[in-house]
């Protein structure tokens, strides 16, 4: 059974919205009590509050905070319980700001006040405790659900919508909701949907929100683990926005870590594929980043998208089919064409490119493909099925396809006059084209220089010309949503 939660507000329609997203360097702590946890959350809010205030001064209708922006990454269920609380229901015009009823939830009061005092809608990722009993067959042993929760406050401080993240990845501190939730709220007459991080890989809740509920704008809080140069957050958000024909406001969270490949930056506003503002912190600078821009509220009809179907029953999937082809960096010459092709059964992936300028230090290039169920489930035994074809820069001569530790090179200096990528996706798949430039951000020419001829069941081609910036990745991603499976 699916649950649709709708928060209705103003009905006057507008063709655009002004939105802001905050990329936040999170403060973490070793909380052993609710008081400790509150201090951590207050410290994070103290860093983000000036940016919320600036967004309001810049005329934003809404500002989006990142996933776990208040709590940081907490992998203990018990410790997370110190941070989160039982929250009020929506639909009753709840205003927690300066309301003594909510004195025991001071962070809820502060969030409500931040929205009301700045007269701005606030989308914030937090968490919610929902008590349950043994009459509920899904109730956890400790008698409560803990959900990764996105909260929406209106510009009057009203808690108007809550969404529980469906695809929790490997989070042990949060539970998977027993029922799917399709949540949107209405702002200035526009339906704004809610998805959180890993949700954006799956068909639910995205496809139903677009096709059945006419959602054209999404807020997305995330803590994405980038895999450079193969696959990254900002490039994926832009690709989603383009193919699904929606506007996307994506806010990233990150913290300094010692493992090079664990880097989570990548925020932006993408309007039906057009890059309104995009940010990737390639220098790992200690800073807060505010991005603001106007997004189109049209689009999102879903006419060329499949109907969503529930995951099919599967047994635990085996390894993906993986193939790759490497070029010898020393042999690449300016002006010459190079080609390569790899296959996994009926799925083929081929590339051709011409380099216009080589860097002083050699940059290695790999054509990589995989096909099958991705190695990690969503946290509830649901695996997604992909066909992936990518030409990307490698930081070593031995190929950057074997381990995550190798896939962290997010810069590049090779210029191309053309890059062509072709893939034979299966019929019925929804296909996306992504690309990153030499600074790790979305390639700025992707909407003007990339022609994507999408022919599922035949040959899909991404032809990239007129590149004004270096390129470290061009990828085609095929998602056969109907093959997503749940282990029985």
Tell me the per-residue pLDDT of 139-163, one tens digit each, with 9 for 90 and over: 999 999 999 999 999 999 999 999 9
Largest CA distance in the chain: 72
Our measurement of the distance from residue 372's CA atom to the centroid of its chain's CA atoms, rounded to an integer in Å, reads: 21
DSSP, residue by residue, 80-122: HHHH-B--PPSSS--B-TT-GGGTT-HHHHHHHHHHHHHT-EE
pLDDT at res. 328:
86
pLDDT in tens, 285-304: 899 999 999 999 998 788 89
Entry field: residues in the chain: 488
Q: What angle do CA 385, 223, 162 make, to 5 degrees?
A: 90
Cα–Cα distance for residue pair 86/209, rounded to 1 Å: 27
Q: What one-character DSSP code corresponds to residue 284?
A: -
pLDDT confidence of residue 79: 97
Q: How far is CA 130 from CA 12, 68, 173, in A?
A: 34, 18, 14
What's residue 261's pLDDT? 55
Q: What is the pLDDT of residue 366?
A: 92
Is residue 248 within 8 A of residue 218, CB to CB? The reply is yes
Bridge-based pairing of strands 450-453 and 337-344 is unpaired
Give φ, ψ of 116 to 5 degrees.
-70, -45
Which distant-in-sequence residues (6+ apart) come within 8 Å of 375 by Cβ?
Answer: 319, 320
**Tokens coding 439:** 């600074």
pLDDT of residue 401: 66
Backbone φ, ψ for residue 423 (5° rounding): -150, 145
Please give the full DSSP string across 205-248, using - where no structure is assigned.
THHHHHHTT---EEEEEE----BBTTB-HHHHHHHHHHHHT-EE
Q: What pLDDT was estimated at residue 299?
A: 84
Check residue 193 and give its pLDDT. 98
- The overall pTM is greater than 0.75: yes
Q: Which DSSP letter does residue 89 get?
A: P
Cross-strand partners of 16 = 296
The residues, ordered by sequence, that sit 6+ positions from 147 with a Cβ below 8 Å of its Cβ are 127, 128, 130, 164, 165, 174, 175, 177
In tens, the pLDDT along 431-467 reads 999 999 999 999 999 999 999 999 888 899 999 998 9
* CA atoms lying within 13 Å on the CB side of residue 372: 16
Low-confidence ranges of the chain (pLDDT < 70): 1-13, 256-262, 398-399, 401-407
pLDDT value at residue 402:
60
**Residue in 240, 254, 329 with CA at minimum distance from that of residue 289:** 254
């Amino acid at each position: 059974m699916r649950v649709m939660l709708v928060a209705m507000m103003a009905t006057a329609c507008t063709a655009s919205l002004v939105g802001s997203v905050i990329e936040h360097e999170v403060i973490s702590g070793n909380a052993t009590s609710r008081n400790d946890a509150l201090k951590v959350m207050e410290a994070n809010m103290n860093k983000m509050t000036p940016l919320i205030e600036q967004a309001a001064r810049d005329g934003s209708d809404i500002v989006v905070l990142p996933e776990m922006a208040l709590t940081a990454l907490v992998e203990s269920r018990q410790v997370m319980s110190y941070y989160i609380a039982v929250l009020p229901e929506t639909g009753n015009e709840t205003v927690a700001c300066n309301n003594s009823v909510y004195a025991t939830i001071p962070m809820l009061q502060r969030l409500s006040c931040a929205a009301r005092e700045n007269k701005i809608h606030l989308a914030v990722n937090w968490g919610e405790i929902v008590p349950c009993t043994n009459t509920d067959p899904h109730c956890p042993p400790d008698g409560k659900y803990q959900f990764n929760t996105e909260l929406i406050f209106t510009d009057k401080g009203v808690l108007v919508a809550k969404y529980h993240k469906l695809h929790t990845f490997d989070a042990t501190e949060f539970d998977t909701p027993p029922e799917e939730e399709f949540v949107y709220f209405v702002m200035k007459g526009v339906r704004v949907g809610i998805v959180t991080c890993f949700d954006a890989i799956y068909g639910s809740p995205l496809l139903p929100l677009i096709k059945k509920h006419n959602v054209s704008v999404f807020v997305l809080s995330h803590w994405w683990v980038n895999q450079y140069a193969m696959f990254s957050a900002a490039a994926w958000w832009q690709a989603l926005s383009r193919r699904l024909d929606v506007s996307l406001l994506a806010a990233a969270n990150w913290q300094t870590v010692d493992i090079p490949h664990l880097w989570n930056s990548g925020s932006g506003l993408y309007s039906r594929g057009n890059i309104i503002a995009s940010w990737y912190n390639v220098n790992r600078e200690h800073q807060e980043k505010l991005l603001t821009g106007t997004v189109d509220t049209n689009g999102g009809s879903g006419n060329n998208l499949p109907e969503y179907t529930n995951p099919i029953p599967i047994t635990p999937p085996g390894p993906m089919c993986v193939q790759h082809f490497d070029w010898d960096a020393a042999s690449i010459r300016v002006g010459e064409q190079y080609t390569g092709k790899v296959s996994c059964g009926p799925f083929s992936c081929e590339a051709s490119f011409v380099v216009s300028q080589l860097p002083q230090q050699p940059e290695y290039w790999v054509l990589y493909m995989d096909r099958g169920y991705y190695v990690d489930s969503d946290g509830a035994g649901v695996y997604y099925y992909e066909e992936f074809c990518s030409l990307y820069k490698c930081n070593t001569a031995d190929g950057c396809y074997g381990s995550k530790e190798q896939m962290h090179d997010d810069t590049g200096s090779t210029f191309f006059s053309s890059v062509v990528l072709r893939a034979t996706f299966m019929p019925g798949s929804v296909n996306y084209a992504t690309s990153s430039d030499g600074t790790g951000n979305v390639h700025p020419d992707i909407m003007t220089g990339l022609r994507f001829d999408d022919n599922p069941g035949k040959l899909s081609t991404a032809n990239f010309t007129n590149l004004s910036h270096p390129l470290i990745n061009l990828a085609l991603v095929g998602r056969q949503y109907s093959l997503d499976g749940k282990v029985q």
